[in-house]
Amino acid sequence: MPDIAFWNETLLPALNRGLLVSLALIIPAGTLGFLGGVALGCVRVFGPPLLRRLGDGYTALLRGVPLAVQLMMIYYALPKLGIYFEPYGAALTGFILCTAAYQSEYVRGAILSIRHGQVQAALALGFSLREAVFWIIVPQAARCALPGCGNEIIYLIKYSSLAYLVTCMELMGEGKVVASNTFRFTEVFLAVGVYYLALVTIAGFLLRRLEKRFHIPGFGPR
C-alpha cells in the first residue's frame, strides 16, 4: 500500500515547489533564448566578417562545452573575477546563453532557406539591408525555424534539471533532497519523471499549436 502521508505531506509539496521554480526558469529562458537565437542567427548570416566569426565562435563554444560545466563556471568561477550571481540568476543566465546558441543554428538554417532574391527585391524597392532583414527575412525565418526551436524548448525542459548543481532548487533538486532524506529513491524519482513527462507533453502540444498558427504556406505539410 502506498504511504499516503508521505506523498501528501512530504513528496508532492516539495515537487510542487520545485515545479514553480522550474517554470520560472524554463519560460523566460525559452523566450529570451529564442530572441537571442534569432539575433545571433541574423548576425551569423548578414553581419560583417568579424561579427560573423565571433558569432560562430560563440556558438561553437556554447555547443561544445557541457551545460553543467557552463553553470559551474557562471556560479563558482565568475566570483573570482568579481561577478556574482544568485543561484536562480546563475541557472537562468546559463540556460539563456546555451539555448540561444542552439537556437541560432535553427534560425541560420531557416534564413539560408529563404531565397536571396527577396533581399535583392527589397533593396531595389529602397529598403536598407537592415530593414530588409528585420521586416522581410526575420519574420519568415523565425516561423520556418519554429519546429527546430520548439525541439530545443523540449530539451530545455530537461536541461532545467541541472539547475540544482548551482543550488537552485527546482524540480530535480527538490526531489533529490526528499530522496536523500527519506531513502525512498524509487518513488521520488518515478514521481519526478512523471512531472517532467507531463511538462514535455504539455509543451509539445502547445508548440504544435504554435507551429500551425504561424505555418507558412508552401513550407512543408500543415
Q: Along the 222 residues of the chain, how does pLDDT read in single tens digits?
A: 567 888 888 999 999 999 999 999 999 999 999 999 999 999 999 889 999 999 999 999 999 999 999 999 999 999 999 999 999 999 999 999 999 999 999 999 988 888 778 888 888 888 888 888 888 888 888 888 888 888 999 999 999 999 999 999 999 999 999 999 999 999 999 999 999 999 999 999 999 888 888 776 655 544
User: At a CB cut-off of 8 Å and minimum separation 6, what does 124 contact?
Assistant: none
* Cα–Cα distance for residue pair 191/211, rounded to 1 Å: 30
In 3D, which of 189, 160, 186 has the Cα closest to residue 24? 160
CB 167 within 8 A of CB 87: yes
* Cα–Cα distance for residue pair 26/201, rounded to 1 Å: 14
CATH annotation of 4-213: 1.10.3720.10
* Cα–Cα distance for residue pair 113/146, rounded to 1 Å: 14
- Cα dihedral value 37, 39, 40, 42, nearest 10: 120
Tens digits of per-residue pLDDT, 51-95? 999 999 999 999 999 999 999 999 999 999 999 999 999 999 999
> Whole-model pTM above 0.85?
yes
